[in-house]
Structure 1
Amino acid sequence: MPGVESPLPWQNAPLARVLGEDGEVFLLLPSDAPAVRAATHAQDDELPAVLEVTDVAPLAVPNRVRGRARVSGWLTGAPGLAIEPNRMMLRLEVGEAAVDDLWGVGLVDPEEFAAATADPVAPFEAELLQHLGAAHEDRVQDLAGLLGERGAELRRDGRRAVPLALDRFGLRVRFTGGRPFDARFDFPEPVDDVTGLRRALHALFRAASG
């Protein structure tokens, strides 16, 4: 926030965040956080603010940051929504969002932001990626066979395959050793739940082993 200095960077890190029905972002912070003091003193004035989010892969890989997002807008207090002692809820009215991730850089307007829905795989992604990396490393490695000549080259070089990202549309794998190389393996159709995801992953691994 312009003009708001925090002696410790983590003091303005939300303890929790949730999207409202109208696309606003509600942020739970300690009541003594600099952001809370600034929003309280601003009262009815609009306080410009930017929420920065960093997405880190749950498995150790080179270049572990998968993406960053910035949500900019105006911050006001929402004291009636905080039910815990020594906590304060703030409301961020979204003016614009920007995303820089594995798929590129893009802007998101407030209407698109409000209409977006969460990927059904997101709540389970970290656990599933860790499971794939720990218990099915050989099957993930076999996915190189779906990459044709490039996959054969990766195998000759002894590249290690690490599951990097998972969503309703497919699996992304990073081949490490030397210069990292990412490969995206799309599912035949988007999955709607964990059951569909497991079927899609099994079909992908069967295709790679066949």
Structure 2
Amino acid sequence: MPSAAERTRTLVQSTCSAVLLVPGLRHAPSDHLMPLARNVGPDGDLFLELPADSPVVRAATHAEDDELSAVLEITDVAPVSVPHRIRGRAWVSGRLTSVPGISGPGRTTLRLETDEAYVDDLWGAQEVEPDELRDAAPDPLRGHEAELLQHLHSAHGEQLRTLCGLLGERTARRCAAHLPSIVPLALDRYGLRVRLCEGAGQCYDARFEFPAPVRDVIELSDAMHTLFEAAAR
């Protein structure tokens, strides 16, 4: 399974929505607190690009002794329609400083010096040390996951339903007309997670591991074919 640090770094460098929480700015419009771009530097610090007129930028520019504390909160929402759609959240806290001269017109880059990080997602909740976040690699599928899940959901529903045959007794005794609905929920280099929903709104997740971690979408295609072939037997 991906480590907590890998999951946190994947969320930081993904397109998930994020907002900066800064003391004294809780009532600022949320769109003024949302970074336009996020990156992780070689030391594990976060570089966040915001509109130059953002109240966070003004606060960081005028902070004394670099003591403006902040928390970047990231919310991960499934890219397909599914019950309980929030897949997880991550928080990275630290101190904000302004980094002049590296952004385009109308934008300013802020550095969030990482003190603490925490992730609470489909795998569980766990703290992440700054050096772990620095050394972790984001998932190689992060830029393609949303599109891949949407494609699986819209074009491969029948193949997804065959995965029920791999779930043992919970679905083995059901006829095809009463199998639970199955929706692709999450995808990473280690495997595919789906959410199955039965009558009365009861849902549960199942995860299917790939034979080996994939490094790109080409290897993912081979792994998915292997998975569907196993389910069809």
TM-score (norm 2): 0.86
In structure 2, C-alpha distance between the alignment counterparts of 1:174 and 1:86, rounded to whole Å: 42
Matches within 5 A, 1:47-86: 47-82=68-103, 84-86=104-106
What's the RMSD between the two structures over aligned residues?
A: 1.4
How far did residue 118 of structure 1 move?
1.1
Q: How does 1:181-196 map to 2 (within 5 A)?
A: 181-196=204-219
CA contact (8 A) 2:68 2:96 kept: yes
- Code of the residue aligned with 1:107 in structure 2: it is E
Amino acid at match of 1:36: V
Q: Which of 132, 142, 151 is the aligned partner of 1:131?
A: 151
Task: Tell me if structure 1 keeps the 8 A contact 2:91–2:119.
Answer: yes
2:228 alignment counterpart: 205
If asked which structure has higher relative contact order (CA below 8 Å, sep 6+), I would say 2
CA contact (8 A) 1:55 1:67 kept: yes
CA apart distance, 1:151: 2.5
8 Å CA contact 1:76–1:91 kept in 2: the answer is yes
In structure 2, what is the Cα distance between the partners aligned to 1:153 and 1:51? 47
Please identify, of 38-47 and 188-197, the stretch whose mean Cα deviation from structure 2 is larger: 38-47
What is the distance in 2 between the residues matched to 1:72 and 1:27? 13
Q: Which residue of 1 aligns with 2:190?
A: 169
Q: Letter of the aligned partner of 2:59 in structure 1?
A: A
Please list every run of 5 or more consecutive structure 2 residues that lacks an aligned counterpart in the other structure: 1-21
CA deviation profile, 1:52-89 (whole Å, cap 9, x unmatched): 0001111010011101000001100001211x211110
Aligned length: 209
Residues in 2 aligned to 1:188 and 1:60: alpha-carbon distance in whole angstroms: 28
Identity %: 56
Q: Runs of 4+ in structure 1 displaced over 6 angstroms?
A: none
